[in-house]
C-alpha cells in the first residue's frame, strides 16, 4: 500500500528533511490525490508552493510541484483550463524529459492519462484532434520510457489509443506481452 511505504519513507528521513519543500511532500500530495482526498492533496500542494515562494531557485522542487499538481488535476477529473494551463507552464520550463530523474517523469504519464481521458470525453467532432494530441504525448513518453514502470504505463496508454482508434484487438495484442 502506497501510504505504508510513504510512512516508512517519512520515518527514515533525517532531521530537517521533512521541510515543506522536501520531495516527500510531493509524494504526500500524490497519494492524497490518488485516494480521492482532494483537500489534503491541495494542502500538500500549497505547502510545496509556499516552499518555492521562499526558495524560488529550487528546480527539482518546481518539477515535483508540477508532478503533484498534474496528478491531482487528473485524479479529480479536472481536464479543462487548469489542466491546459499547467501543461503550458510546464512546457515553458523547457525541460528535456530524458534529463529528469525517473520519479518526476511520472508527470508525463499523467499528462498522457489526462489527454486520453479528454479523448474519451470528447464528442465525435473533437475526438480525432484530441486523439492526435494524445498520440504525441504517448509517443513522447515512449521515447523516455527507460525503466519497467514507465514502459508498462506506455504500453497501457498505447493500448488505450488503439481502443480509441477502433482497434480493440490491437490493444489486446499490445497488452499481451507486458513485462
Q: CA 6 to CA 10: how far, in whole Å? A: 6
Cell readout for 154 is 506506455
Kindly report the number of other CB atoms within 10 A of residue 104's CB atom. 18
- What are 45-73's pLDDT values in tens digits? 999 999 889 888 888 889 999 999 999 99
pLDDT at 103: 80
- What are 9-43's pLDDT values in tens digits? 666 666 655 555 567 788 899 999 999 999 999 99
Q: CA 175 to CA 170: how far, in whole Å? A: 9
On average, the pLDDT of the chain sits at 89
Q: Are 65 and 49 in contact (CB under 8 A)?
A: yes
Tell whether pTM > 0.85.
yes
Amino acid at each position: 500500500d502506497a501510504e505504508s511505504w510513504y510512512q516508512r519513507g517519512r520515518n527514515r528521513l533525517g532531521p530537517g528533511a521533512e521541510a515543506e519543500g522536501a520531495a516527500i511532500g510531493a509524494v504526500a500530495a500524490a497519494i492524497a490525490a490518488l485516494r480521492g482526498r482532494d483537500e489534503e492533496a491541495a494542502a500538500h500542494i500549497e505547502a510545496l508552493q509556499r516552499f518555492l515562494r521562499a526558495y524560488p531557485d529550487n528546480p527539482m522542487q518546481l518539477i515535483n510541484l508540477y508532478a503533484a499538481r498534474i496528478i491531482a488535476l487528473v485524479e479529480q477529473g479536472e481536464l479543462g483550463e487548469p489542466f491546459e494551463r499547467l501543461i503550458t507552464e510546464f512546457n515553458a520550463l523547457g525541460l528535456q524529459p530524458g534529463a529528469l530523474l525517473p520519479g518526476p517523469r511520472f508527470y508525463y504519464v499523467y499528462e498522457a492519462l489526462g489527454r486520453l481521458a479528454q479523448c474519451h470525453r470528447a464528442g465525435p467532432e473533437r475526438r480525432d484532434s484530441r486523439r492526435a494530441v494524445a498520440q504525441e504525448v504517448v509517443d513522447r513518453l515512449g521515447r523516455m520510457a527507460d525503466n519497467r514502470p514507465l514502459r508498462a504505463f506506455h504500453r497501457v496508454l498505447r493500448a488505450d489509443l488503439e481502443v480509441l482508434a477502433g482497434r480493440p484487438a490491437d490493444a489486446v495484442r499490445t497488452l499481451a506481452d507486458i513485462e
